[in-house]
Amino acid sequence: MRRITLSRYLIEEQREKGKINADLRLLIEVVARACKSIAIAIGKGGLGGEGGILGEAGSDNVQGEAQKKLDVLSNEIFLEANEWGGHLAGMASEEMELPHAIPNRYPQGEYLLLFDPLDGSSNIDINVSVGTIFSVLRCTEGDDPTQANAFLQAGTRQVAAGYAVYGPTTLFVLTVGDGVVCFTLDRELGSFVLTQENIQIPHDTKEFAINMSNMRFWEPPMQRYVNDLLSGKEGPRGKDFNMRWVASMVVDVHRILTRGGVFMYPLDSKIAAQGGKLRLLYEANPMAFIVEQAGGAASTGHCNIMDIQPSGLHQRIPVILGSKNEVALAVAHHLKD
């Protein structure tokens, strides 16, 4: 494979395909640089700073979830890296209730950056891979980027999305609407190098990802669908299935991008009042954009995720995404009811 760095890939997407402009190219490069900084911080684990950077921060985020020290640090890294470049109108994060306004001392750009700075952070203390998820929108003319309303745009309006995986290797997966590419951090160079291009998710699969401990709380369609998977060869599917659940969405989605599968976090009666577990704007939408660009599908069970008109910055929704024929079968169960 050609040894293409992220910078060269972005320049070629801009110069030869006109897929992005200079500001979006700068935005993505700055996001990738912030992910490198997060990877370094995570790599220090218990060695970083006084008493290490593992463990609880002693605060809760807007979701009411106990923050890890690295949640707070990763959020700060993203804000500091992105606010001065002149490419952003504003930022929104899982870790902050309200949007982050670009300080007046810096110029403003046309883009809105939404992110989950450290997804799967419950895995940090047990040294399991975690990641960062980001989504890019344009600020609509006349919208106030300091207000949540400017960010409440359907996923189909995303201009770019991606994630980083902090694992045995540090990966940066990206779409700018021209397919999905994956870069691997060359730690000697300090650059992300293209290692997979035109990623395609197999349309069928024998592997599903879901937190089975919630089964008794699911709605009937999801129970029926998963029971069919569990029935295996003797059941209506006529084949056996394997199950994986890392509890880091970025890792479960990256496995699906790599070898197919279906990832589900359905409604359950414990979280029905919240609308689901995963957040629409900075988890479900960016992952849906990536999965669809890789030939997969992403649904709530009742509609395509990217068609949803958001009602709130931290809105949660049920998620079924991955191999498109498998997603279609899960959706069919929901449409029967």
When asked if residue 120 is in the footprint of ligand P6P (CB under 6 A), the reply is yes
Applying CB under 6 A, does 145 fall inside the site for ligand P6P? no
Distance CA 36, CA 184 (A): 11
SS3 content of the chain, % helix, strand, coil (to 5): 40, 25, 35
- CA atoms of 311 and 104, how far apart (whole Å): 28
Which residue, 136 or 249, has its beta carbon nearer to ligand P6P?
Answer: 249
Q: Looking only at residues 220 through 259 of this chain, which bind ligand P6P when binding is defined by CB under 6 A?
A: 247-249
Q: Does 71 bind ligand P6P (CB under 6 A)?
A: no
CB of 121 to ligand P6P, least distance (A): 7
Both ends of the chain: CA-CA distance in Å?
48
With CB under 6 A as the contact rule, the residue among 119, 207, 268, 326 that binds ligand P6P is 119
Q: How far is the CB of 24 from ligand P6P (least distance, A)?
A: 26
Nearest approach in angstroms of CB 217 to ligand P6P is 11
Give the residue with the Cβ less far from ligand P6P, 119 or 326.
119
In degrees to the nearest 10, what's the CA dihedral of 81, 84, 90, 95? Answer: 30
Q: What is the DSSP string of 241-268?
A: -EE---S-HHHHHHHHHHH--EEEE--B
Q: Which residue is nearest to ligand P6P (CB)?
A: 249
φ and ψ at residue 100, rounded to 5 degrees: -95, 115
Residue (129 or 293) nearer to ligand P6P, CB: 129
Maximum C-alpha span of the chain: 66
Whichever of 20 and 320 has its CB closer to ligand P6P, that residue is 320
94 forms part of the interface with ligand P6P (CB under 6 A): no
Give the integer Cα–Cα distance in Å for 298 and 330: 11
Between β-strands 111-119 and 100-101, what pairing exists: parallel, antiparallel or unpaired? unpaired
Task: Give Cβ neighbours of residue 171 (< 8 Å, ≥ 6 apart).
Answer: 164, 165, 182, 183, 184, 185, 254
Q: Is 211 in the site for ligand P6P (CB under 6 A)?
A: yes
Binding mask 271-310 for ligand P6P (x = CB under 6 A): ------xx--------------------------------
Does 269 sit near ligand P6P (CB under 6 A)? no
CA distance 326 to 298: 11
- The answer to whether residue 122 forms part of the interface with ligand P6P (CB under 6 A) is yes
Number of residues that bind ligand P6P (CB under 6 A): 10
**Residues found near ligand P6P in the complex (CB under 6 A):** 119-120, 122, 211, 247-249, 265, 277-278
